[in-house]
Amino acid sequence: MRIGELAGQAGVSVRALRYYEEQQLLASSRTPSGQRVYPDSAVERVRFIQRLYAAGLSSKAMLEILPCVHTGDVTPQLLGRLTTERDRIDRQIAELTDTRDRLDGVIASAIAYRDGKGCEAQKSAS
């Protein structure tokens, strides 16, 4: 598939795909006229790259990690790196979950107040 098709299917910009290639995270072949061509598997790879970026990994870290995702070959050093990244992501998830739970509490209080239940609860507590 061509670069525009990949961008559309993966939900990223053409510019992002070019950047991923510059960072050696994504590879393409070229047609005789020089246009980039990607395999169908590139859609899932780009989506995975996007998820890794969203999780806070740098392109340098991804460059180390991506090959082992496909081969399963992991050195002890890389295993340590993967474990560190996983633990960081777990902490991030816990913090986001706590933030979401706090927002849920604020939303529930606002709805109760809006529906008059908050005022009744305040009166009965007095």
Q: Are residues 125 and 100 in the same domain?
A: yes
Virtual CA dihedral for 39, 40, 41, 47, nearest 10 degrees?
110
CA distance 54 to 30: 29
Q: Are residues 79 and 91 in the same domain?
A: yes
Q: What is the pLDDT of residues 74-86, one digit of tens each?
A: 888 888 988 998 9
pTM of the model as a whole: 0.74
User: Domain range spanning residue 79?
Assistant: 74-126
Q: What is the pLDDT of residues 56-103, one digit of tens each?
A: 999 998 998 888 877 888 888 888 988 998 999 999 999 999 999 999
Q: Are residues 84 and 50 in the same domain?
A: no
How many independent structural domains does the chain possess? 2
CA distance 126 to 120: 10
Once rounded to an integer, what is the mean pLDDT over residues 51-57?
92
